Structure 1
């Protein structure tokens, strides 16, 4: 199975029958593409998330259920309503109704995760049917049989060794016989309860399965032709990148490149599995290859932006010439499952950035009142919001003279709340107001990539 390719298609790529048909052609064009991982059809997850919200009126709940059903039935209609697929979709839609009603009585995170998982179940059943319609032997496979996680509902942690063992037992033999379509974003804990990996987790799922199967490549098919030097909507002259290293791609994913989920690269790095990012709408345009080694390593590779950031300022005189304050702070954050992005310190202050987009699958903020109260017991806490993190991604940034000058001359008109540079040779990060982020990105791109 060493030549196996895992292809992942996002929500816009499987939004309707025409989109699924295009993606099926991409799969069939490569005989090594044996495993297909799909997201829910575009819009479905958002509708399911709304169904999980408290105090949802029954009239709105019924409307949401109809909208979800409409998306599935339009695809079924194009397929000619094959009996086995139609029965499967009807069963899943009925399950959505039952689960959403249960949530009105019991605000249970396990129920929420099972509800959110139904979108991927629908799209995988439909995509497998599209492949069969084109004459291919294909079937849908419930990823919960192999994607083992812990029981942290909404943001479950995969159990790497168990996933590898289960894939060897249950998935690898099937791939020898036919193409398999499975779900991203979801898994199951030891008790068999459905879990989710957090929003954007389908990319991660594909990479985890590729790692477990020792695949040769992971293909991430989305609505853009690869990774660009920055978001083309912010800088019209942004250009596509043909090849980048794992380190650069990991930095870009972490600091806001929406083409990739931040965790996607990690399983690929562990097994040195190359990753391709391309457009399912226009596959002929090529895309970006992410590899362990690349031929060119420029100082400046890209500018990324991550919005909706929170700056947590902690002040305590206990920090002055003392030990243990940071250890206690990070232990508190760890207990609340909070991951810190950037950190700066002074004698009596520490500032941390938290990514609010790193919420759980239902969109609930991780910066809870309980966390703030616990932190307040040993320091003064100030929270700043409506911030954006802008990152310059490249190589040898920390050891190349002149990098800071070229960046800071662009930043002069702007109020910078935090600067982080030196921890990694691949990035220089600044925290600015959300309202100024687009202007900062555009100016940095012009100065670093477009200047003669």
Structure 2
């Protein structure tokens, strides 16, 4: 059995939607499948905008709701045939009516709760999933909508809910126990519910997570994540032209590169599959014949990962001392502040911490989102008010508008010359490196540069380190 998930870009136009229907048709002939589907590309953002306008008592929310209605009825009219069409029209009209009622309710309220927001932005998945059921039935396939709020149980952390796996696994097993082989279950990704029955969402890109949760609970043979690129690439193709695909990765490797900006898959989605030793394959819905990238628990310790990633809209904060006395105490107090704000990892708007010591100089640096840095700095200044006044800490410096470039070379390609080559390449092109750090987990090298140099730095590093792979790619194309 396979669980196959399609993202919003894969169904972003009527033509793409039809392409997904054909992929599903071919897949269900090969094996028993469960389909997980996101909202149509751009619809979740539109719903978020509608929530914002309604909460601000701006009538633009009505225009957005009308646009959402128009888009889905356009898809419906082009995808679905009679007599199925009338059934789906009834369902879509009901969901659209619910959208208008909820938005009008927000318009009347003085404030919008995260619970209100989740109940509205989840409607994009309800719309797209019912369109898919209708489209599949229109070509003679048996399909049935399975509402994930009925079996993915979460806490009440609206916007990024935490899954109760003990209860969720039990409910999934019950929900899919007696499904006939000829029926294709269609599941709305991104959505769950708390103990009170309130709709919750699993975070942006949470449909990946939904597919993984279901795949792990049912012990699927594989989970397929269908997106708009040929698996995991060596860099962001929107930034680097001559990227190449990575055929196979370990779950830990994918977690690392995702944490440092690679737009691969929703990081949480790997956890349940990794525990059950179920492979995941990342495929391109625009190029179904490509084999994509397989992610699994590898037995080999020799990694050949070769990826460059980046994260921007960051700030670099540096606490400077003239000597290393009391440095440990300062470091512990700083970590408490970062922990209090749950800034434990850069992926969640958190931090990367670095400390350096000279004979008479001590610096603690951390990197955080530019959106949170101002509030954070005030708290750091309050915590270390005495140290600043008495010059135990000489100053706190903040460098805004920086980006992190991370280079993953894998231990198979471990070589100290890689670091030298990176610095020489950037120096020759007059790109300053503000901070450098290196970890040995999967041989990743990270540097902080000015954000204005982000794209140039990525291209320079990618072309310098992966020259041989690029040449092979160009030769195959020729």
Do the structures match in fold with TM over 0.5?
A: yes
**1:403 paired residue among 418, 426, 429:** 418
Q: Is the 8 A contact 2:155 2:162 kept in 1?
A: yes
Within-5 A mapping of 1:142-291? 142-174=147-179, 178-291=183-296
Which stretch of structure 1 is more off in the superposition, 210-219 or 48-57? 48-57
1:173-209 CA distance string (max 9 Å, x none): 3375621111222211121111122222221222222
Judged with a 3 Å threshold, the aligned counterparts in structure 2 of structure 1 residues 398 and 160 are, in CA distance, closer, same or farther, namely: farther
Query: Secondary structure, in 3 states, of the residue corresponding to 2:91?
Result: helix
Asked which structure has the greater CA Rg, the reply is 2
How far apart, in 2, do the equivalents of 1:382 and 1:426 lie?
29
Query: Secondary structure, in 3 states, of the residue corresponding to 2:422?
Result: helix
Q: Structure 1 stretches of 5 or more lacking a match?
A: 357-364
1:78-131 CA distance string (max 9 Å, x none): 214722221211111112112222223132110011111010111111112112
Equivalent in the alignment of 2:476: none
- TM-score (norm. length: structure 1): 0.88
Equivalent in the alignment of 1:450: 467
Query: Secondary structure, in 3 states, of the residue corresponding to 1:444?
Result: helix
Judged with a 3 Å threshold, the aligned counterparts in structure 2 of structure 1 residues 296 and 145 are, in CA distance, closer, same or farther, namely: same
Judged with a 3 Å threshold, the aligned counterparts in structure 2 of structure 1 residues 162 and 352 are, in CA distance, closer, same or farther, namely: farther
Q: Structure 2 stretches of 5 or more lacking a match?
A: 347-351, 386-395, 472-478
Which stretch of structure 1 is more off in the superposition, 296-305 or 130-139? 296-305
Q: Is the 8 A contact 1:316 1:378 kept in 2?
A: no
Within-5 A mapping of 1:356-367? 367=372
Q: Is the 8 A contact 1:214 1:271 kept in 2?
A: yes
2:74 is the counterpart of 1:53: no
Equivalent in the alignment of 1:103: 106
Equivalent in the alignment of 2:392: none
How far apart, in 1, do the equivalents of 2:15 and 2:152 lie?
29
Q: Is the 8 A contact 1:92 1:122 kept in 2?
A: yes
Equivalent in the alignment of 2:388: none
How far apart, in 2, do the equivalents of 1:443 and 1:407 lie?
8
2:42 is the counterpart of 1:39: no
- TM-score (norm. length: structure 2): 0.83
2:124 is the counterpart of 1:125: no
Query: Secondary structure, in 3 states, of the residue corresponding to 1:411?
Result: helix
Query: Secondary structure, in 3 states, of the residue corresponding to 2:215?
Result: helix
How far apart, in 2, do the equivalents of 1:91 and 1:324 lie?
60
Q: Is the 8 A contact 2:316 2:367 kept in 1?
A: yes
User: Cα distance, 1:402 vs. partner?
Assistant: 2.1
Q: Is the 8 A contact 1:398 1:424 kept in 2?
A: no
1:251-276 CA distance string (max 9 Å, x none): 22222222322333232222222111
User: Cα distance, 1:440 vs. partner?
Assistant: 0.7
Instruction: Give the length in aligned residue pairs.
Output: 440
Q: Is the 8 A contact 1:129 1:139 kept in 2?
A: no
Which stretch of structure 1 is more off in the superposition, 29-38 or 60-69? 29-38
How far apart, in 1, do the equivalents of 2:443 and 2:190 lie?
29
Query: Secondary structure, in 3 states, of the residue corresponding to 1:220?
Result: strand
Equivalent in the alignment of 1:359: none
Q: Is the 8 A contact 2:32 2:181 kept in 1?
A: no
User: Cα distance, 1:376 vs. partner?
Assistant: 4.0
1:14-69 CA distance string (max 9 Å, x none): 22333222112212222335211111101101101111226645431111011111
User: Cα distance, 1:315 vs. partner?
Assistant: 6.2
How far apart, in 2, do the equivalents of 1:288 and 1:210 lie?
18
Equivalent in the alignment of 2:368: 354
The one of the two structures with greater contact order (alpha-carbon pairs below 8 A, sep at least 6) is 1
2:91 is the counterpart of 1:77: no
